């Protein structure tokens, strides 16, 4: 096993997984950040606003229609006036229905489109972040932000925001019409507005906080589920299902409890707003009723005032309801903005230095010291100097935690060293574009990554523009063609989640075919055969030998029999290079290497393994 444990964070060093460390939004201003995603669709926004204004105006005009209907139709007893008033009301209803459809369609389209763009932007940002980001951020939480939070925003943009704007226009227009209809009653109504607004604002702040907390709890639920599902074989092998169910149940209970508190406050917010608004309107209408009986106001004016009063009251109730949703959306937006604003520590300089072409395959580590972000007090590499010539095969051996895998991480520029330089073909990795640097390198790891796609797509992952013939040729060289052809749909066969439809050796050969297709100048082999049985190891090793021809190769291996024929073996310990040479030289000069060899085989067994490997490689057709 390679020293990948060096890259794993301690549980205490994962701040973004702890709710108390998550930043809390303060107000709705964070929603302004979404406006950048709205800008490309200004035309549709304008049409949606027009539809909103038309529907609001049509709604307000109904009040005047009712006044005319009561005063000129009913009171005067004129059938013609009654007919005209009814026709006007029907016309307004038609305009209202057309405007409502247009508003609904346009705003819903905007909600779907903007959220799709936001998801793309967040994914593009996250996938570009350096691996250190994922040391302190759980994948499940990122997925929750990409799905749950964006879905909430879609609901807000495509529905709640439209309702809020429509009712805001109705509220403003209704207040204006109240003043026009009867200034005295409107003045009385305005006096009670502060008693409505203040409680809504105070409770709304608490609703916003609980909205953010609720999203965090949902993210915790997703993270726990993702972790258990990703390790389902281990969960079941250790009969840990009951404990995982209990842990998941605890997270669900915490999410439910937070959601209930949020729902309770939102319900209180809405009911309090309705109570205060309708009580105030009722008092004002009582005053208006007395004015009608005293002759100071016509029945039509009171009817219109009642209509506008109800409109205002209804609008305030809807706005208070939507306000809670907007506050919740502010929390979701803040979580997404955190990802959008996360800056990758590994990035191309403004003017990257060009790597020489054609690629040479030279590697230099010059006095490199490095510490993982999650373990800042421990050096993974301590002043390491190593040179690998073009075409040379160098094996890195040593105990776990010696820093072998860290060398690979720095060569791929997943991290930058604290001091010293990592050079590829004579260019400092920090001065080059990481994309250009990584195109010269291919990695074959101990645990090959197989995507939930076809065999053809998995191999082509190494070079997306490769033709089918080139993919098949790479599979042949990797000894993968025969078993792929035997699959039900051949190269178009779905390999399953993480390649579950393949054996370990088959997955490794698909991984080697992917690296062959990339045709790299530098090849990194990280324990590529350590998890295989003897037969599969022989097949994979022969495929690796074909892959290594003419390429600079760095090999990490604990099984020394697989690297004894390397041009050079470098012995590492606690981040330092402690010895280098051939197998025979190191057996004489390096106590650590000799101890590793003795622990694995004993000298006679090691020599036997070497002879067997050599005879296997000399078989006809190999």
pLDDT (0 to 100) of residue 20 = 38
In a domain, 365, yes or no: no
d(CA 330, CA 616): 64
pLDDT tens by residue, 278-311: 777 677 778 777 777 777 777 777 777 778 877 8
pLDDT (0 to 100) of residue 464 = 85
d(CA 473, CA 247): 48
How many other CB atoms are found less than 10 A from the CB of residue 604?
8
pLDDT tens by residue, 468-493: 888 888 888 888 888 888 888 888 88
| 120, pLDDT greater than 60 | yes
In a domain, 288, yes or no: yes
pLDDT tens by residue, 518-567: 888 888 888 766 656 666 667 777 777 777 777 888 888 777 777 777 88
User: Pick the residue with more confidence: 17 or 207?
Assistant: 207
User: Pick the residue with more confidence: 386 or 374?
Assistant: 386
Q: Which of the four pLDDT bands, split at 50, 70 and 90, describes residue 15?
A: very low
pLDDT (0 to 100) of residue 10 = 38
Contacts 24+ apart (CB under 8 A), 418-421: 418/369, 418/370, 418/371, 419/367, 419/368, 419/369, 420/365, 420/366, 420/367, 420/368, 420/369, 420/383, 420/384, 420/385, 421/364, 421/365, 421/366, 421/367, 421/368
What is the span of the domain harbouring residue 193?
Answer: 28-341
| 7, pLDDT greater than 60 | no
| Matching residue, tokens 């820093």 | 403
| Matching residue, tokens 């800056």 | 343
d(CA 586, CA 582): 6
In a domain, 606, yes or no: no
pLDDT (0 to 100) of residue 533 = 62
Largest distance between two CA atoms of the chain: 120
In a domain, 613, yes or no: no
CA 556 to centroid of chain Cα atoms: 32
In a domain, 400, yes or no: no
pLDDT (0 to 100) of residue 30 = 61
| Straight-line distance from the first to the last Cα atom of the chain, in angstroms, rounded to the nearest whole number | 27
d(CA 386, CA 423): 10
Q: What value does the mean pLDDT take over residues 419-429?
A: 88
Contact 321, 270 (CB under 8 A): yes
| 606, pLDDT greater than 70 | no
pLDDT (0 to 100) of residue 535 = 67
In a domain, 45, yes or no: yes
pLDDT (0 to 100) of residue 71 = 66
pLDDT tens by residue, 159-202: 777 777 778 888 888 888 888 887 877 777 777 666 766 776 67
pLDDT, averaged across the chain: 76
In a domain, 59, yes or no: yes
Number of domains composing the chain: 1
Q: Which residues lie across from 553 on neighbouring strands?
A: 393, 523
Burial of 47 (0-12, 13-18, 19+ CB in 10 A): middle
Q: Mean pLDDT check: name the lowest of 300-304, 318-322, 438-442, 581-585.
A: 318-322
Q: State the CATH number of the domain containing residue 274.
A: 1.20.1560.10
User: Pick the residue with more confidence: 220 or 487?
Assistant: 487
pLDDT (0 to 100) of residue 94 = 85
| Matching residue, tokens 């917010």 | 269
| 569, pLDDT greater than 70 | yes
**What does residue 279 show for φ and ψ, rounded to 5 degrees?**
-65, -40
| 207, pLDDT greater than 60 | yes
Q: Mean pLDDT check: name the lowest of 145-149, 464-468, 580-584.
A: 145-149
Tokens of 89: 């009301």
In a domain, 195, yes or no: yes
pLDDT tens by residue, 233-274: 677 776 777 888 888 888 888 888 888 888 887 787 777 777
Q: Which of the four pLDDT bands, split at 50, 70 and 90, describes residue 313?
A: confident
pLDDT (0 to 100) of residue 13 = 37
Instruction: Give 494's DSSP letter.
Output: B
d(CA 247, CA 234): 16
């Amino acid at each position: 096993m390679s020293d990948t444990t060096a890259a794993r964070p301690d549980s205490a060093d994962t701040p973004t997984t702890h709710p108390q460390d998550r930043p809390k939004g303060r107000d709705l201003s964070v929603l302004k950040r979404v406006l950048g995603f709205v800008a490309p669709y200004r035309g549709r926004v304008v049409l949606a606003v027009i539809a909103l204004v038309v529907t609001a105006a049509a709604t307000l005009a109904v009040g005047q229609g009712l006044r005319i209907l009561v005063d000129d139709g009913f009171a005067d007893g004129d059938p013609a006036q009654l007919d005209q008033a009814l026709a006007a009301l029907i016309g307004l209803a038609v305009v209202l229905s057309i405007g409502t459809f247009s508003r609904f369609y346009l705003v819903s389209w905007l909600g779907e489109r903007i959220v799709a763009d936001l998801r793309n932007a967040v994914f593009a940002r996250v996938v570009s972040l350096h691996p250190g980001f994922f040391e302190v951020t759980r994948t499940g939480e990122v997925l929750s932000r990409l799905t749950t939070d964006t879905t909430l925003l879609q609901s807000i943009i495509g529905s709640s925001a439209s309702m809020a704007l429509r009712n805001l226009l109705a509220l403003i227009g209704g207040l204006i019409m109240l003043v026009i209809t009867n200034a005295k009653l409107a003045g009385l109504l305005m006096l009670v507005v502060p008693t409505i607004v203040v409680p809504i604002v105070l409770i709304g702040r608490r609703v916003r906080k609980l909205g953010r907390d609720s999203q965090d709890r949902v993210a915790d639920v997703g993270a726990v589920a993702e972790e258990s599902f990703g390790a389902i074989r281990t969960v079941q092998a250790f009969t840990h299902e009951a404990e995982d169910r209990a842990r998941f149940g605890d997270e669900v209970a915490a999410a439910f409890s937070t959601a209930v508190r949020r729902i309770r406050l939102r319900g209180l917010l809405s009911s309090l707003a309705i109570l205060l608004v309708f009580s105030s309107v009722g008092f004002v209408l009582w005053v208006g009723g007395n004015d009608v009986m005293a002759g100071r106001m016509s029945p039509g004016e009171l009817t219109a005032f009642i209509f506008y009063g109800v409109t205002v009251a209804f609008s305030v109730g809807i706005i208070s309801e939507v306000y809670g949703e907007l506050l919740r959306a502010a929390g979701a937006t803040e979580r997404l903005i955190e990802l959008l604003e996360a800056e990758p520590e590994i990035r191309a300089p403004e003017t990257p230095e060009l790597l020489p072409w054609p690629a040479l395959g030279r590697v230099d580590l010059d006095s490199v010291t490095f510490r993982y972000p999650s373990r800042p007090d421990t050096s993974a590499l301590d002043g390491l100097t190593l040179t690998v010539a073009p075409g040379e095969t160098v094996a890195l051996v040593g105990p776990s935690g010696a820093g072998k895998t860290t060398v690979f991480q720095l060569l791929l520029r997943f991290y930058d060293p604290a001091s010293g330089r990592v050079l590829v073909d004579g260019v400092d990795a920090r001065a080059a574009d990481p994309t250009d640097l990584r195109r010269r390198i291919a990695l074959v790891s101990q645990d090959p990554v197989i995507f939930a796609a076809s065999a053809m797509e998995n191999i082509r992952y190494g070079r997306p523009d490769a033709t089918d013939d080139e993919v098949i040729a790479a599979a042949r060289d990797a000894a993968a063609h025969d078993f792929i052809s035997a699959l039900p749909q051949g190269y178009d066969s779905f390999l399953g989640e993480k390649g579950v439809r393949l054996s370990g050796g088959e997955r490794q050969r698909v991984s080697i075919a992917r690296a062959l297709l990339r045709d790299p100048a530098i090849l990194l082999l990280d324990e590529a055969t350590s998890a295989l049985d003897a037969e599969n190891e022989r097949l994979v090793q022969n495929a690796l030998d074909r892959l290594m021809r003419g390429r600079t190769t760095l090999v990490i291996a604990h099984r020394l029999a697989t690297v004894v024929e390397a041009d050079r073996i470098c012995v590492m310990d606690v981040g330092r290079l402690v010895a280098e040479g051939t197998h025979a030289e190191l057996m004489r000069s390096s106590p650590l290497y000799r101890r590793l060899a003795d622990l694995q085989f004993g000298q006679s067994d090691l020599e036997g393994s070497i002879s067997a490997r050599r005879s296997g490689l000399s078989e006809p057709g190999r």
